[in-house]
Structures are given as structure tokens and as C-alpha cells.
Structure 1
Amino acid sequence: MKIGIVGLSLSGKTTLFNALTGSQVDTTAFMSGKGDAHRAVISVPDERLDVLNDLFQPKKKTPATIEYIDLAGLNATEQKKTGFSDQFLGQIRLVDAILVLVRHFKNDSVPHPLNTIDPLRDLGIVEAEFILSDLGIIENRMERLLRQMKAKKTDQDAREYELLERCKAFLEEEKPLRNLPMSTEEQFLVRGYQFLTQKPLIVCVNIGETDIHNDSAVLASFSVYQQAGQVSVLTVSAQIEMEVQQLTTEEAELFRSDLGIVDSAMGRLVRESYDLVGLISFFTVGSDEVRAWTIRRHTVAPLAAGAIHTDIERGFIRAEVVAYDEFIRRKTMALCRTDGVLRLEGKEYIVKDGDIINFRFAV
């Protein structure tokens, strides 16, 4: 899974990137609003994988991963002139979800580019840019479709044009496409356009230390967004989390305890990201490797097998499946088989989060 981190300049994006990934990128790197994206891949924390690793003692443990991409911030003072660059838009269209960081903290030594703190306004500025970008793509595609239909009209072109008209009208009302109801067929028609306003959105409110225990009031102001589908809103203190990232495990636990912080930003963001994008994990186990695999929710067994290798998907016969909780109660596959909780599943089986699977296949 890829998550793009975006926001206005001086919102704390790179600080959050460092906190999430353990990187030490210069936080002033994007001061000009330009520069190459910062990228880092992190392992997804999963206690279930750790338990399986302890039980099987394999040669290798392989967790699921998330790639975070920190992109240059939008220079709000120039926003009406330039907006996001084409390079930025090209990069952000390739991510699975967009994390918009909005500033709530106050720091006189780092003044907000618009001179006032207003997280909702800042989010609106970013969303407006995404809407304009999607409108541009739609208008260009509609022009091409008109030319195609004048030469030779097909039913598919007509359906696509009608759908794009609906999308255009929706965006012109300043509404993101993630809120526009679409059938499965319609979603397939527009999938290739990678519309920014259709991507799952994580709104991260960057708070100061004084607001750590008062985040409910902060979140209440985003209630309209929280009620929308495919949107998640949470608070984080990027500066504190970056400082914690630089400590040992014991020091970090003590530091969080002193501040009354129960959970890390990375843990919360990973859970929110998985839920929002609709991802789950299944496991493969053995003496060589214990591994977590990431797939979409409602994925059938052969497609899940394809996450491991296309040959396994192509030659799929059956899947030996046991739920994680059932396995942990017994701790051996032999006992799971004896108790009847190790099942044989076919091509229609929908993989569940936490399933431990051995795929039978022949090619």
C-alpha cells in the first residue's frame, strides 16, 4: 500500500514523515514548495505475526509493508497562481490513499503562510486543488470522447461520456467524487483515471502538546468530513512523535507514559489506513518463513494466492485454512486438523483477516 502525504507548506508533513518512517529528512527541504518526493517503506506492526514467529521459529519473518511518500507542500500564498505542479499530481495519482496534514499547532517561530491557524480552511484549499485537477482530466477526456463518437459511436463510449458528465457536475458543486454513488460497472469505467477526489482520504490534524488531551474538541470541528464515506480524521502531534521515534523502546514507553499518550501515531495510522482502503492480512507459515500478506477485503482464495505468485493463482486447487484465533488455541496444525478447524476451501472462499493459509496448486 502506498500513502501520499500532502498539505500546505509549514504544516509539518516532513516531520510526520520522519515520525512514521524513522527517517531523518531535513524538515526545511520543502520550504520553497519544490523538491523531489521523500519515500520510505515501513513494516506494518502486527502482534499476530510476532506470535506465529515465536511458535514456528522460522529462518525468516516477513511483515506486510506500507510505503509513505512525502510530497512538496502547497505554497498557500501562491496557490491561486500555480496550484500543485504536474509532477506532484502525477505522483499523487499513483497512491492508494491520500493523507492530508493540516496544521492546528501554534508556533510563532514557524508562522503559518496565511498568518492564521485554520485547519478546515487549509483542508478546503487542498481539496479545491484536487477538484480542479480532476475536472481538467474529465474535460479533456470528454473532448476526446466527443471526437471519437462523431467518427464512430459505441455504447461504451456513450456510457462513459454520460458518467463523466455526472462526475463533472458533481465536482462543479465542489463535492469530491468519493461521495458520488457509482455502480460496480461505473467504478470500473473511471478506475484508470485515478481521480484524486475518489481516493480514500486520511485527514491528520497536527496538534501541539497542549491539545493532546483535548483532541475531541479538535475532531468535532471535522464532523462533516467524518460523516463522509472513505474519509478518516485523527489527531497527531508530529513533533512529539518524531522525538519519540529517536528514543529506545523503553525510553519511548516512559516518554509516552509521562505525556499520557496511549498509542503511537504509526499504530493508529496503520489501522486507519487498512480500514479505510479496505485491506486485510492473511498469513503463510512454515519452518522457512512466516509472512503476512496484504489483500483487499472480500478477495477470493485464488486471487489471494496470486498475491504470493501468479503460478499459485493459475494452478489453484484448494486452500487449507485455519483462523488465527483457532490456531493459537491449539498451537499446532496437527491438532487443528484433529479438531476439525483446519478446513479445505475452494475457489469461491472469501479470505478473512487473520486466516492462516496453505495453498494447494498444480502448474
Structure 2
Amino acid sequence: RVDRLAEIYKPKKTTYATIQYVDFPAAGANFGKGEGPGGKFLNELARMDALIHVVRVFNDPAVPHPENSIDPARDIATMDLELAFADLAMIERRLERLTSEVRSMKAGERDQAVKLQGILERIKAQLEDEVPVRSQEISAEEEKLLAGSRFMTALPMLVLLNIGEEDLERREAIEAEAQEKYRATGRDVAVVAGKFEMELNDLSEEEAVEFRESAGVTESGMAGAIRLSYQLLGLISFLTSGPDECRAWTVEAGSSAPVAAGKIHSDLQRGFIRAEVVSFEDFVAAGSEAEAKKRGVLRTEGKEYVVKDGDIVNILFNV
């Protein structure tokens, strides 16, 4: 979208929204048997805002699987088990510490500690019943007591099924079947053909689009992963445009116009008066601000307006 706006405005500068991915090593043969990655690996995982579990579906003898067979359901269950082990170990440590400290606490602190013990015991029992923390009911008050606890199974997760090119025609059926199975545990599911996408990287953009269309693929694997990552994190992008700069900004979904303005500069939020807004699709169809105004698709919105993904926004303010 930024590139399309840049074609129209010819700005001095273009700035894209960014999202950082950390590629962790693939799980080995002992993963899921209580002998998985060590504490350093798990500590790094716990620092992430969300997880994408890339699961092998393709079959290629030249790339052996650690378990010597292709079984996506097994691999997903293995990851679930290892993350649950990490959460259970963390809960055990906290419970042991609370038990040793609670006797020396003052009455008020002791009451809070006892409440926390009860919450941790409940979470532990549900984890042992294979219910991840993200699927458990935890109140806002309980969240406060749990502050500082980084549960691995609480992290938003996308299961990304890596299929072979021979399965491209079946990708929608594969995705639908997996979504039905795994969405109950609070995860989304998507399909990507990694090798197919890698081969397209050697082509021009026009050739890559043509090959994708011939295979019935509507967007690149990278574009799809980024879009789904934003959904997973509850984020959207809005845009600002002009001759100086065309830029994408990231904000939480459901944010009001003043909050979005604050992402640009705190003065814009503090002195917010109103916002001029047009959707990206309407603006591109119009081709210019003047034509957008003429068509009536460029409108004025106040403080209560909820910014939508793809909105092009101009903030009017006074401080």
C-alpha cells in the first residue's frame, strides 16, 4: 500500500511498518519427551509477542524429518506438550517459592499469596488436562496477581502448515480441516508452500504474480504471514501520505483517531481536533485527493472514530 501511494505522490521518503521475526532452530528427535530445548531457548520464546509454529506437511526424501516420518498432527502435539511442560515447571517453581515465603508474610500479603496459589493450582490442573493458558478463563483481577508470569501456552499462536507444490490445489481443504481441529485451542491456521515461494524469489515481481495466479495463489507467502501476524497480535496499519513522506503506522485494532494520532506524535493526540480519512481502496480508485473529495469518499471524523486497517489519515490539531 505504501508503494502504491508513493506512485501517486512521488514523496521524498517512504517508510514501511515493520514486524520482527526470530527464526528458532527446528525441533530435534527428543523434542516433546521432556528433553527438548533448554532454558535459554524457552526464555527466548517467552520474550516473543506471539509464536508461529511452522509445521512440515511436504514430503521430500532429500530433507529427512527427525522422526523419519511426516505427521503434522504429531508434530503439533509435540510442540504443545513441550510448551505445556515449560509452563508446568514454572508453576511448580512459583508454588514452591510461595509455600516457603507465605509464613513470613504480613496478613494482607499472605491473603494475596494464598489467592495466587489457588490461581496457579487451577491453571496447573487445566494444563494437565491439555488446556493451554490462552484457552483458560482468567479474570482481570487474576491477571494482576499473575503479573510477571510469562506462560508459554498463553502466547498467541499461528500454526503455519508448510505444504509441497503438489498439494497447492488442495491447500484450502488442508487449511479448513486443520482450522476445524485447532481453533478450539485458540490458534489460527494457515497454509504456505515454502519451496514454491522460495523458487518464486528468483523471478521478477510480475513473473512471480503470474506463477502464483496460475497455481491459484492470491498472495505471496510473506504477505500472508505478515497479514496473519497482525491479526494474531490484534494490530492494524493506517497510512499517512503527502509529497514529503508516505508512511504506514501500526496501532492496536479498535484504536480511536486520537490514539492513532499519538502514534505519529504525542502533540497530535493532545491537540487533536479532527481527522480527514479515506480508505486506501477508495483513494486508489480516485487517484488523487481532489478526486477523492469530489467523489465524497474523503470524510471528516471526530474523536470517537475507530481507525480501520488501510485508512489514509490526515490529523488536524492545535496545541
TM-score range, shorter chain: 0.7 to 0.9
Q: Tell me, yes or no, if the aligned pair for 2:249 and 2:263 is still in contact at 8 Å.
A: yes
Letter in 2 for 1:317: F
Moved more, 154-163 or 194-203: 154-163
Aligned mate of 2:167, from 189, 193, 211: 211
How many angstroms apart in 1 are the aligned matches of 2:294 and 2:148?
44
The alignment covers a number of residue pairs equal to 314
- Structure 1 runs, 4 residues or longer, greater than 6 Å off: none
Q: Does 2:83 correspond to 1:130?
A: yes
How many angstroms apart in 1 are the aligned matches of 2:317 and 2:113?
40
Aligned mate of 1:342, from 296, 299, 306: 299
1:298 match: 254
Letter in 2 for 1:211: D
Aligned mate of 2:58, from 68, 81, 105: 105
Cα displacement string for residues 10-49 of structure 1 (whole angstroms, at most 9, x for unaligned residues): xxxxxxxxxxxxxxxxxxxxxxxxxxxxxxxxxxxxx3x3
How many angstroms apart in 2 are the aligned matches of 1:339 and 1:206?
44
Q: Provide closer, same or farther for how the CA distance between residues 56 and 187 of structure 1 changes in structure 2, counting only shifts above 3 A.
A: farther
How many angstroms apart in 2 are the aligned matches of 1:79 and 1:229?
18
How many angstroms apart in 2 are the aligned matches of 1:207 and 1:133?
29
How many angstroms apart in 2 are the aligned matches of 1:338 and 1:260?
34
3-state SS in 2 of match to 1:227: helix
1:55 match: 8
Deviation at 1:75, TM superposition (A): 0.9
1:323 match: 278
2:47 match: 94
Letter in 1 for 2:10: Q
How many angstroms apart in 2 are the aligned matches of 1:130 and 1:52?
43
Q: Provide closer, same or farther for how the CA distance between residues 327 and 210 of structure 1 changes in structure 2, counting only shifts above 3 A.
A: closer
Q: Provide closer, same or farther for how the CA distance between residues 332 and 223 of structure 1 changes in structure 2, counting only shifts above 3 A.
A: closer
Q: Tell me, yes or no, if the aligned pair for 1:319 and 1:359 is still in contact at 8 Å.
A: yes
Cα displacement string for residues 258-277 of structure 1 (whole angstroms, at most 9, x for unaligned residues): 54434321122222222222
Deviation at 1:61, TM superposition (A): 1.4
1:9 match: none
1:36 match: none
2:263 match: 307
2:25 match: 72
Q: Tell me, yes or no, if the aligned pair for 2:282 and 2:292 is still in contact at 8 Å.
A: no
How many angstroms apart in 2 are the aligned matches of 1:258 and 1:94?
40
Moved more, 105-114 or 145-154: 145-154
Matches within 5 A, 1:1-363: 47=1, 49-77=2-30, 79-80=32-33, 82-150=35-103, 151-152=105-106, 153-154=108-109, 156-190=112-146, 192-219=148-175, 221-228=177-184, 230-310=186-266, 312-313=268-269, 315-324=270-279, 327=283, 331-332=288-289, 336=293, 342-346=299-303, 348-360=304-316
Deviation at 1:125, TM superposition (A): 0.5
Q: Provide closer, same or farther for how the CA distance between residues 192 and 55 of structure 1 changes in structure 2, counting only shifts above 3 A.
A: farther
Q: Tell me, yes or no, if the aligned pair for 2:277 and 2:301 is still in contact at 8 Å.
A: no
Deviation at 1:297, TM superposition (A): 0.9
3-state SS in 1 of match to 2:184: coil
Cα displacement string for residues 93-112 of structure 1 (whole angstroms, at most 9, x for unaligned residues): 22222111111222223222
Moved more, 86-95 or 51-60: 51-60
Instruction: Quote the RMSD (CA, aligned, Å).
Output: 3.0
Deviation at 1:341, TM superposition (A): 5.0
Q: Tell me, yes or no, if the aligned pair for 2:282 and 2:297 is still in contact at 8 Å.
A: no
| Aligned-pair identity (%) | 39
Cα displacement string for residues 145-196 of structure 1 (whole angstroms, at most 9, x for unaligned residues): 4445431233654544333222211111122111112334444554643322
Q: What is the TM-score with the length of structure 2 in the denominator? A: 0.84
Q: Tell me, yes or no, if the aligned pair for 1:102 and 1:206 is still in contact at 8 Å.
A: yes
Unaligned runs of 5+ in 2: none
Q: Tell me, yes or no, if the aligned pair for 1:204 and 1:233 is still in contact at 8 Å.
A: yes
Letter in 1 for 2:127: L
Cα displacement string for residues 319-363 of structure 1 (whole angstroms, at most 9, x for unaligned residues): 4141325655663279749959532522x5432223333345566
Q: Tell me, yes or no, if the aligned pair for 1:306 and 1:312 is still in contact at 8 Å.
A: yes
Unaligned runs of 5+ in 1: 1-46
How many angstroms apart in 2 are the aligned matches of 1:145 and 1:246?
57
Q: Tell me, yes or no, if the aligned pair for 1:301 and 1:349 is still in contact at 8 Å.
A: yes
Letter in 2 for 1:176: P
Q: Provide closer, same or farther for how the CA distance between residues 188 and 272 of structure 1 changes in structure 2, counting only shifts above 3 A.
A: farther
3-state SS in 2 of match to 1:271: helix
3-state SS in 1 of match to 2:94: helix
Q: Tell me, yes or no, if the aligned pair for 1:77 and 1:114 is still in contact at 8 Å.
A: no
How many angstroms apart in 1 are the aligned matches of 2:295 and 2:191?
47
Deviation at 1:241, TM superposition (A): 1.1
3-state SS in 1 of match to 2:227: helix
